[in-house]
Chain A
Amino acid sequence: AQKITQTQPGMFVQEKEAVTLDCTYDTSDPSYGLFWYKQPSSGEMIFLIYQGSYDQQNATEGRYSLNFQKARKSANLVISASQLGDSAMYFCAMREATYTGANSKLTFGKGITLSVRP
């Protein structure tokens, strides 16, 4: 079964506006972590933000915030005041605590392409 689902087609946003990138996940583990990564055209993976399953508050990192709705199993990334440099592919990922062996295995979604228009 797919653990991380990112189904939005390519997203477009006007510069300086906010945009939400959707992510839903599937796990029966009560302890898990959710991550968002940015991948520009160069291919490097840039860590953006982390949300723990027990965290009471939504995570924020500068212009990035994570809209965590645990009951719905969604972890949407919100980018405020979009910039041209935000154009990239964005991946949602999850780590489950009880995974045996490599306890820090990350499972990724298919990604969403974001294009920021000037």
Chain B
Amino acid sequence: SQTIHQWPATLVQPVGSPLSLECTVEGTSNPNLYWYRQAAGRGLQLLFYSVGIGQISSEVPQNLSASRPQDRQFILSSKKLLLSDSGFYLCAWVPQGRGTGTEAFFGQGTRLTVV
């Protein structure tokens, strides 16, 4: 069966510090991978998605970047965190090429507080 792991669960970081959040998927190959951020009152905002190794698309220009060094690994990074980067970050995956009827499977999320 497929599982998705996301860590850490919580993180408190000072302004200006770097960030690295990691997400891995098991039990599948060549998944579509996504990073979402959830801020209060704004639902889930898609940040990045990836359809393959090294292929990253950004939805919203911001202080963050993403990388996919391996097929089932997706990393969200920042060189210098801002207060506005605080939020709940969710990684998700979807099987490739399954049309509109396949739901996304989410990790447990990382609650990031920038202080």
Contacts and interface: CB of A to CB of B under 8 A. Distances in A.
Interface stretch (A14-22, A62-70, A74-82, A96-104): A96-104
A93 B42 CA distance: 13
Contacts of A11: none
Closest 9 CB pairs of A and B: A33-B100, A45-B106, A110-B43, A104-B94, A108-B44, A102-B49, A47-B103, A43-B109, A108-B43
B44 A50 contact: no
A107 B111 CA distance: 21
Contacts of A42: 108
B106 A44 contact: yes
Interface string B89-113: 0101011111111111110110100
Interface residues of A, number: 30
A31 interface: yes
Contacts of B104: 45, 47, 104, 106
Interface of B: 32, 34, 36, 41-46, 49-51, 57, 88, 90, 92, 94-106, 108-109, 111
Contacts, number: 77
Interface of A: 4, 6, 31-33, 35, 42-45, 47, 50, 52-53, 91, 93, 95-97, 101-111
Nearest to B95: A104
Contacts of A105: 34, 46, 49
Contacts of A96: 100
A4 B49 CA distance: 19
A50 B41 contact: no
A43 B43 contact: no
Nearest to A34: B100
Contact of A44 (B57, B94, B109): B109
Given A43-B108, A101-B49, A104-B94, A110 B100 contact: no
B106 A104 contact: no
Contacts of B57: 101-102
Nearest to A31: B100
Given A101-B57, A102-B34, A91 B43 contact: yes
B46 A91 contact: no
